Amino acid sequence: MQLDELIEKTVLGLGYVLVELERSPRARLLRVFIDHPEGSRPEAGGVSIDDCTLVSNQLTRVFMVENVDYDRLEVSSPGLDRPLNKVADYHRFVGSEVQLKLRMPVGNQRNFRGVLEGIVGEPGMEKVCLRAEDALHELALENIDRARLVPKF
């Protein structure tokens, strides 16, 4: 089993979703970003220190059993500017303000900021619908380099 799959399976088993996994060269540092699944957000709002501790302790045990070689493990909340990495993230955060950076420009523009209207298209051909400046943009999911929520204060 690949390290990504091992971590995702463990995180899901504890009742969280894996938002992102960052690895340093040769996987000496592992950074795991977790969140609550859609529809199960606690009243407090986000991921707590206790949530991170629980996941960290469980991953440490799993890594010992699976002989995963690493130096340091960090488990954290994705933050207010949470990245959108999976198709499910785009469905979950419909109506939220997002910032997108494209790999290839569309109409001489690579950066977009607006309200996420949803995602359309068949698997593998999805397009993200974004309302920005009174225009609806349909941007190919495969062309999105980075997508993040815009924090509201």
| pLDDT tens digits for range 96-106 | 999 999 999 99
pLDDT for 43: 52
Mean pLDDT, rounded, for 83-90: 92
Domains and CATH numbers, the chain: 3-76 (3.30.300), 87-149 (2.30.30.100)
Confidence at residue 41, expressed as pLDDT on a 0 to 100 scale: 55
pLDDT of residue 45: 64
Instruction: Summarize the confidence of residues 76-101 as an average pLDDT.
Output: 93
**List of residues 6+ apart from 119 with CB closer than 8 A:** 87, 90, 91, 126, 127, 128, 129, 141
User: Which tens digits make up the pLDDT trace of 103-119?
Assistant: 999 989 999 999 999 99
SS3 annotation, the chain: CCHHHHHHHHHHHCCCEEEEEEECHHHCEEEEEEECCCCCCCCCCCCCHHHHHHHHHHHHHHHHHHCCCCCEEEEECCCCCCECCCHHHHHHCCCCEEEEEEEEEECCEEEEEEEEEEEECCCCCCEEEEEECCEEEEEEHHHEEEEEECCCC
pTM metric for this prediction = 0.83
What confidence score (pLDDT) does residue 152 get? 84
Q: Quick check: 73 pLDDT over 90? A: yes
Q: Which residue has the tokens 């488990």?
A: 75
**Which is nearest to 89 in space by CA: 49, 52, 51, 118?**
118
User: pLDDT value at position 39?
Assistant: 59
Q: What percent of the chain has pLDDT over 70?
A: 95
pLDDT at residue 148 greater than cutoff 90 = yes
The pLDDT of residue 134: 82
Q: Does 1 score more than 80 pLDDT?
A: no
For residue range 15-72, list pLDDT tens digits in order: 999 999 999 887 689 999 999 987 555 555 689 999 999 999 999 999 999 999 899 9
Token pair 């997108």 is found at: 100
